[in-house]
Structure 1
Amino acid sequence: MYKRSDFPDGFTFGASTAAYQIEGHSFGGAGRTHWDDFAETPGNVIRAENGAVACDHYHHWQEDLDLIRDAGFDAYRFSASWARVLPEGRGTVNPEGLDFYDRLVDGMLERGIKPMATLYHWELPSALADLGGWRNPDIAKWFADYCEILMDRIGERIWKTATINELWCVSFLSHFLGHHAPGVRDIRAAARAMHHVMLAHGTATQALRAKGVNQIGAVCNFTYSQPASRSPEDIEAAATFDDYYNNFFMSGFFKKEYPERIVSALADHFPSGWQDDFDVIGTPVDWLGVNYYTREIIKATDGPWPGHTSIEGPLPKTQMGWEIYPEGLLHFLRRCHVDYTGDLPLYVTENGMANPDIVVDGTVDDVVRIDYLARHFDAAKQAIAEGVPLNGYFVWSLMDNFEWAFGYEKRFGLVHVDFETLQRTPKASYMALKAALAS
């Protein structure tokens, strides 16, 4: 494991979580979300588990912030739940929700932890899902209004603010593949969600800037696209994957255009007037967050767009079945810097792995995670040596949590959580990072 002194002075180390995955959404007056609806639908989530209790961070937040401080992390990337602040998505504010985030931010500052807020991490209020959710163009305004309400309360104390986490997951994964809430599998719904999530980001960024909020960023997830062979068909299929997964969002933000492959495939499904929205979508940001986990091996298939499938690769895999491929992180840090962002500061806002961790005699020996992180820190260090302006690294995740459609089965945490007793047990990876950050 690298030491803190191996990275530049001022490099920020942190841990990340998400509201619905840890808070306990049945507490504190939070409204219903489309993840509650998705989880209640048979077959969507393992054992129909949901975020009603999760890690009960709502009541254990002080203990959890102590874990962040004691590890030596500089910053904590947390998210706020739209439905906790506005149970119906619009209209009446839930005072308990704002009070919770107030206490949480103050608790970070009291412990010397820099608060990094993500304003949306997938928990859309059900009342807005009833109105079409991300398919409805009005969602850009709804989202901006929510962001203003929350940031009016906590904004002055926030170190950095991200609008929407992983726009590909919010749109394509959830509306084309149907793997996440709302579980739609429809090309037109996906195209509209892809555009509206971009527009919502830009609209909220402009609204917050007008309020005097600074240090606003975008957070995108990236997956390395590897052709299954050297055939022209597989190479083109991998390029298509790369465009709709990685380049679509980056190109919209930083070039005010979408990749031609995607426009030719989806233009008939985009909302009318979509070409006129790029000045809002491309509103300048102050930093970019890079979420990275794995690569996919892409093979061309017959059939409708996008005309490919993913095949199993040869590398060691995490509990999620994802190949461990640190070279992909270096690739995307280089690409973002050279092709899109120039001198804009970059942060690795998520990186980590799921592992079937168990507590034995009070300890969790997740040596495989220590190795995983060391190899990805190595990629980050290489990027910095090449001149990439990488300013920080956030591990996913602080603790085991509700892993969306996989329920409580996949464990990404540096801290083990017993979901019956809510006991927190720092893993060997937590202790290794603590030692690294102290040195």
Structure 2
Amino acid sequence: MDGKKRKYRVFRRICKKCFEELDEYIDMWITHNEPWCVSFLSNALGEHAPGKRDLQVALKVAHHILLSHGMVVNLYRRLGLRKPIGITLNLSPSYPASREFKDKIAANNCDGFFNRWFLEPLFKGSYPIDMVNLYSNRVSDFSFIKEEDFNIIGERCDFLGINYYNRSLVEFDPMSILLYRGAYSEYKKTSMGWDVSPDEFIDLIKMVREKYTDLPIYITENGSAWDDNLVDGQINDADRIEYLIEHLKAVEKMNEMGLNIKGYFYWSLLDNFEWGYGYSKRFGLVYVDFKNQMRIKKKAFINTKK
């Protein structure tokens, strides 16, 4: 048995055990969370572990994540279990920084890199050919992709999970592999440097509905990090409150438009270890003092409870 099949077998065995032992306690199953981060951010851009900058590796990782997703959905159904099961993608709508044609190319490539590379195999049975052509400048071997793989990847789910934080504003960059780079924006920004963009949240879901799927959508993550300061035992996180309210309004509007947002989950309850940023970025509704583990409810938590 080659290494790939062995890994699939191990993953299926782990999932089978989880299904058998935990299904009665679980309301919904998500096979993978944020495959873009695990593949491209970690193996092409090198920002997360294992810190590689190898597009060939990133493409293989992305493909095998999608394959294992389809295999596990099929396994769950063959076990005769009936809870909703799906996958969660982190998506970001892409916009050109100007009306120039070259910036439109940049926005198209950003969309292909971040969104379409996962949406199209899941819902259209192929990878976007424009991105395959672009990647071919750096990747010569696509033999790990088999035509029959798309039947597995496209196993019908019960819902699509979407993690949304911000839009992407980009401009043309001839020196980049993907021919784009982030552009200057006058939007208000979180401490991650991300644009606060609730209107573009609506654009994203409209695009998913128009081009890809009518499955129920769950917003499985949405939130913002700010430089929270503890003053007299309190954290007055007015920016977080504003962000949360505006994005909840966007969800309300989307449902008024018939876009079928079935649920919304905020990221996150507690300040936590945030990938490569460690403890330096705080997304929580509850402040955590990492020296003594003391918890303090932020104003956003108190307002949310009301």
How would you bin the TM-score normalised by the shorter chain? over 0.9
Match of 2:167 among 295, 299, 303: 295
Q: 1:67-102: CA deviations, max 9, x gaps? A: xxxxxxxxxxxxxxxxxxxxxxxxxxxxxxxxxxxx
In structure 2, the partner of 1:358 is: 229
In structure 1, the partner of 2:199 is: 327
Cα separation, 1, equivalents of 2:175 and 2:109 = 14
In structure 2, the partner of 1:163 is: 31
**Residue 152 (structure 1) aligned with residue 23 (structure 2):** no
**Percent of aligned pairs sharing the same letter:** 38
In structure 1, the partner of 2:117 is: 248
Cα separation, 2, equivalents of 1:288 and 1:272 = 26
Question: What code does the residue aligned with 2:29 have?
Answer: T
Cα separation, 2, equivalents of 1:346 and 1:191 = 26
The answer to whether the Cα contact below 8 Å between 2:167 and 2:201 also exists between their aligned partners in 1 is no
Unaligned ranges ≥5, structure 2: none
- Which SS does the other structure have where 1:179 is aligned? coil
In structure 2, the partner of 1:211 is: 79
Cα separation, 1, equivalents of 2:180 and 2:134 = 14
Question: What code does the residue aligned with 1:221 have?
Answer: N
Match of 2:54 among 186, 209, 212: 186
Alpha-carbon offset, residue 273 of structure 1: 4.2
Cα separation, 1, equivalents of 2:27 and 2:174 = 48
Cα separation, 1, equivalents of 2:302 and 2:201 = 24
Q: 1:160-180: CA deviations, max 9, x gaps? A: 110110111111111100111
Cα separation, 2, equivalents of 1:256 and 1:416 = 44
In structure 1, the partner of 2:156 is: 284
**Cα gap change, 1:403 to 1:240, in 2 (>3 Å):** same
In structure 2, the partner of 1:428 is: 299
Cα separation, 1, equivalents of 2:141 and 2:295 = 47
**Cα gap change, 1:379 to 1:269, in 2 (>3 Å):** farther
**Cα gap change, 1:419 to 1:382, in 2 (>3 Å):** same
In structure 2, the partner of 1:173 is: 41
Cα separation, 1, equivalents of 2:258 and 2:186 = 31
- Which SS does the other structure have where 1:341 is aligned? coil
**Which fold has the larger relative contact order, with Cα–Cα distance below 8 Å and residues 6 or more apart in sequence?**
1
Q: 1:175-210: CA deviations, max 9, x gaps? A: 100111111101111111121111111111111222
Cα separation, 1, equivalents of 2:7 and 2:200 = 33
| TM-score (norm. length: structure 2) | 0.94
**Residue 411 (structure 1) aligned with residue 282 (structure 2):** yes
Q: 1:305-335: CA deviations, max 9, x gaps? A: 3121112311110010111011121112212
- Which SS does the other structure have where 1:347 is aligned? strand
Question: What code does the residue aligned with 1:157 have?
Answer: Y
Question: What code does the residue aligned with 1:234 have?
Answer: D
In structure 2, the partner of 1:347 is: 218
Cα separation, 2, equivalents of 1:321 and 1:353 = 10
Cα separation, 1, equivalents of 2:179 and 2:296 = 45
| TM-score (norm. length: structure 1) | 0.66
In structure 2, the partner of 1:92 is: none
Alpha-carbon offset, residue 144 of structure 1: 2.0
Q: How many residues align?
A: 301
Alpha-carbon offset, residue 296 of structure 1: 1.9
Alpha-carbon offset, residue 145 of structure 1: 1.9
Q: 1:235-279: CA deviations, max 9, x gaps? A: 011101101211111111111111111222336343434322001
The answer to whether the Cα contact below 8 Å between 1:139 and 1:200 also exists between their aligned partners in 2 is no
Cα separation, 1, equivalents of 2:9 and 2:208 = 28
**Residue 376 (structure 1) aligned with residue 247 (structure 2):** yes
In structure 2, the partner of 1:259 is: 128
In structure 2, the partner of 1:139 is: 7
**Cα gap change, 1:194 to 1:180, in 2 (>3 Å):** same
The answer to whether the Cα contact below 8 Å between 1:192 and 1:271 also exists between their aligned partners in 2 is no
**Cα gap change, 1:422 to 1:386, in 2 (>3 Å):** same
**Cα gap change, 1:140 to 1:299, in 2 (>3 Å):** farther
Match of 2:144 among 256, 263, 272: 272
Cα separation, 2, equivalents of 1:422 and 1:251 = 43
In structure 2, the partner of 1:336 is: 208
Cα separation, 1, equivalents of 2:260 and 2:68 = 27
RMSD: 1.7
The answer to whether the Cα contact below 8 Å between 1:198 and 1:281 also exists between their aligned partners in 2 is yes
**Residue 395 (structure 1) aligned with residue 266 (structure 2):** yes
The answer to whether the Cα contact below 8 Å between 2:36 and 2:114 also exists between their aligned partners in 1 is yes
Question: What code does the residue aligned with 1:158 have?
Answer: I
Cα separation, 1, equivalents of 2:200 and 2:6 = 36
Cα separation, 1, equivalents of 2:162 and 2:229 = 29
Cα separation, 1, equivalents of 2:272 and 2:192 = 14
Alpha-carbon offset, residue 137 of structure 1: 6.1
Question: What code does the residue aligned with 2:167 have?
Answer: R
Cα separation, 2, equivalents of 1:166 and 1:420 = 30
Unaligned ranges ≥5, structure 1: 1-130
In structure 2, the partner of 1:201 is: 69
**Cα gap change, 1:263 to 1:141, in 2 (>3 Å):** farther
Alpha-carbon offset, residue 218 of structure 1: 1.1
Cα separation, 2, equivalents of 1:139 and 1:270 = 20
